[in-house]
Structure 1
Amino acid sequence: MLETIGVLVAHAGRGPDAGARIVRNPDDALGRLLRLHVALGSYNLQDVLEARVVLERSSFEAAAAHASAEDLAEAEETLRRMQEPDVTVPEFNDLDTGFHVQIARSSGNQLTSTLTSAVRESVRPLILKALEAAEDWPATAAALNAEHAALLTLVKEGDGPAAADLVEQHIRGFHGTLVPEQAG
């Protein structure tokens, strides 16, 4: 079962390559495991949203201090691809996930990066569904692209506190619509 979800890799036979080994990069496995727990109701979407806010605030603030020129160029290329007029909704969603994970990786904290990747991956199907349901996809894409561009600008300028505040607004905005309103 651990091999199926990507935590272990098992090689049959004898010798130094035989046996089970823990996967070096647990991002994908942790994301699949968290998505399964969300689907099974182990975690509610409000809890996932709040965890995402905490992790991404931290990631964006740290990225503003630690991101390399290569990290920033990679995030910039992702944004360029998101802004292409013929990008499909599923492609946009994949690129959106990629952008947030790239920023987390550039934060300099591997555990925060892994957790951010897992949390973002766990809600990717729900975000895709919400994007596909958008009444005006071009306007929705333009608004999200503007937010992503502003986030990247703040990271490039080294303004971590402003980037943290803006990413929280971004997550609680469109992506926050995934969580049903709770009666007070």
Structure 2
Amino acid sequence: MADEKRTWQAVLEHVETALLDGTLVPGDRLPGERALAAELGVGRSSVREALRVLEVLGLIRTASGSGPQSGAIIVATPRGGMSALLRLQVAAKGFAMKDIVGARLVLETSVAEELARQEHPTLADADTLLSAMDAAELTPAEFLTLDAQFHLSLAEATGNAVIAATMAGLRGAIERYVLEGSERIEDWSATATRLREEHTAIIDAIRSGDPDAARSHTHRHISGYYAQITS
């Protein structure tokens, strides 16, 4: 039993190391279960256990079946554990969608404004996620998971640990309502295109040092999607 435990932990550490050193980035897909087991010289049960842990941690999203949309896609990189407690609290309370959206509007418009006031905001993670969201084969669930991570990356770019932890704690709730809402959208492709354009507008406003535009674009982006899925 101890050896088996160490084996799945070795798989976990292998993937986490690749995430931390940039070998794997959001939008990448892990090799299939069989290929990963062969590469690391472990049993498939150990790979499955490690993938379950990575999914619980919010680092990957898995999909069953075969083809380009199956398997595990990277949706985040490892972060501190403080936000895990907030995620549990959000899940336990079951906050209403309108309250989550209201909190996002207060928090994220301020984040965008703050970043636009910085001389050299750190937006590399946001850029990586924007590129990942351009992939044509993404399912709505994968796209929206990367979308939530994009918003989290902006909070982290402020350098304020409390803001970043709060956004990370809200992430699961954000993913849940945007995904449930996507099922009511008739033309998902058009919506995904619009969301990508809105993300780009936010980043452009931040880079151009325009706090008012950054705040406005962020407010319009969040409130617009909420209005679309509740109309």
* TM score, norm. by length of structure 2: 0.60
| 8 Å Cα contact 1:67-1:108 kept in structure 2 | no
Match among 153, 163, 172 for residue 121 of structure 1:
172
| 8 Å Cα contact 1:61-1:155 kept in structure 2 | yes
Distance in 2 (CA, whole Å) between partners of 1:115 and 1:140 is: 27
Match among 134, 142, 147 for residue 91 of structure 1:
142
| 8 Å Cα contact 1:60-1:164 kept in structure 2 | yes
3-state DSSP of counterpart to 2:123: helix
Q: CA deviation at 1:49?
A: 1.4
1:168 aligns with 2:219: yes
Distance in 2 (CA, whole Å) between partners of 1:83 and 1:24 is: 28
Distance in 2 (CA, whole Å) between partners of 1:177 and 1:37 is: 25
User: What RMSD, in angstroms, separates the aligned Cα atoms of the two structures?
Assistant: 2.4
Report which structure shows greater RCO (CA 8 Å, sep ≥6). 1
1:107 aligns with 2:158: yes
Distance in 2 (CA, whole Å) between partners of 1:75 and 1:24 is: 18
- In the alignment, residue 183 of structure 2 is paired with which amino acid? E
Gap change, CA 1:67 and 1:100, over 3 Å in 2: farther
Match among 81, 90, 93 for residue 25 of structure 1:
81
Partner residue in 1 for 2:99: 47
Partner residue in 1 for 2:133: 82
Distance in 2 (CA, whole Å) between partners of 1:153 and 1:125 is: 28
Aligned residues: 155
1:156 aligns with 2:207: yes
The one-character-per-residue Cα deviations of 1:137-167 (angstroms, maximum 9, x if unpaired) are: 1101001110001111111112122111111
Identical aligned pairs, as a percentage? 29
1:133 aligns with 2:184: yes
Q: CA deviation at 1:51?
A: 1.1
Q: CA deviation at 1:32?
A: 3.0
Distance in 2 (CA, whole Å) between partners of 1:35 and 1:67 is: 37
3-state DSSP of counterpart to 1:103: helix
Structure 1, unaligned stretches of length 5 or more? 7-22
Q: CA deviation at 1:100?
A: 0.1
- In the alignment, residue 103 of structure 1 is paired with which amino acid? L
| 8 Å Cα contact 2:82-2:165 kept in structure 1 | yes
* Structure 1: 4+ residue segments shifted above 6 A: none
Structure 2, unaligned stretches of length 5 or more? 1-55, 58-78
Distance in 2 (CA, whole Å) between partners of 1:52 and 1:143 is: 19
* TM score, norm. by length of structure 1: 0.74
| 8 Å Cα contact 1:68-1:106 kept in structure 2 | no
Q: CA deviation at 1:30?
A: 0.8
Gap change, CA 1:82 and 1:46, over 3 Å in 2: same
1:72 aligns with 2:128: no
- In the alignment, residue 82 of structure 2 is paired with which amino acid? P
Distance in 2 (CA, whole Å) between partners of 1:35 and 1:66 is: 34
